[in-house]
């Protein structure tokens, strides 16, 4: 086992140096782990227009440590859901527009018996605005009203992307800090 000898006159300087380096190692470890967490959260985030996934970032807090954040206005609802609530006229229009974009119309049928296997990816497309306002307006309205009814009666279920992965994130942070400290210790020797 290696032995490190520190003279009494050098002890204060060594402690000060090591304390500074250990703090820097911890900060680096936390930042690296936070970047890994952001990458993971982006990979499991639900995507509609990409705004929520793109909003994951690593921020440096006032103490110099890293903080994982999502600045999307709807981040809290995606994470924790929402209690039952009324939907405003603006909310109704936003849901209707979402339905128009997400619901697909089969433009050609495939498979034996003209579509018994269902539409293929190539055979479906989003509704045009003209379709959603014209011949298929009843369908878009029906789906929109069903979503609004569910929000009013049951609310919205959360995805719990952060909460359900906290143990993993804590483990990654500890591993990352330990790696940074081990790198320092092997470079200069144990105090």
In the 3-class helix/strand/coil scheme, how is 93-130 assigned residue by residue?
Answer: HHHHHHHHHHCEEECCCCCHHHHCCCCCHHHEEECCHH
- Of 105, 96, 102, nearest in space to 146 by CA: 96
Q: What percent of the chain has pLDDT over 70?
A: 85
- pLDDT tens digits for range 55-111: 999 999 888 789 999 999 999 999 999 999 999 999 999 999 989 888 766 544 444
In this prediction, residue 134 carries a pLDDT of 84
Dist. CA 18–CA 113, nearest whole Å: 75
Question: What is the tens place of the pLDDT at every residue in 116-144?
Answer: 444 444 556 777 888 878 888 888 899 99
User: Whole-prediction pTM value?
Assistant: 0.74
Give the model's pLDDT for residue 173: 95
Residue 113 CB coordination number (10 Å) = 7
Of 129 and 113, which is predicted with more confidence?
129
pLDDT at 24 exceeding the cut of 60: yes
Output the pLDDT for position 190: 53
């Amino acid at each position: 086992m290696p032995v490190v000898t520190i003279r009494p006159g050098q002890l204060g300087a060594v402690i000060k140096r090591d304390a500074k380096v250990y703090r820097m190692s911890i900060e680096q470890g936390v930042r690296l782990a936070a970047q890994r967490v952001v990458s993971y959260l982006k990979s499991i985030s639900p995507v509609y227009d990409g705004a929520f996934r793109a909003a994951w970032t690593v921020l440096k807090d006032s103490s110099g440590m890293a903080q994982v954040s999502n600045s999307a206005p709807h981040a809290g609802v995606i994470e924790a859901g929402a209690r039952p609530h009324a939907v405003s006229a603006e909310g109704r229009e936003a849901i209707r527009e979402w339905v128009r974009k997400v619901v697909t119309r089969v433009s050609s049928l495939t498979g034996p018996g003209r579509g018994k296997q269902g539409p293929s990816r190539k055979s479906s497309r989003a509704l045009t605005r003209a379709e959603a306002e014209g011949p298929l307006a009843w369908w878009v309205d029906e789906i929109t009203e069903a979503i609004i009814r569910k929000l009013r009666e049951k609310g919205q279920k959360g995805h719990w992307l952060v909460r359900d992965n906290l143990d993993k994130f804590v483990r990654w942070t500890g591993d990352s800090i330990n790696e940074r400290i081990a790198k320092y210790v092997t470079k200069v020797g144990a105090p």
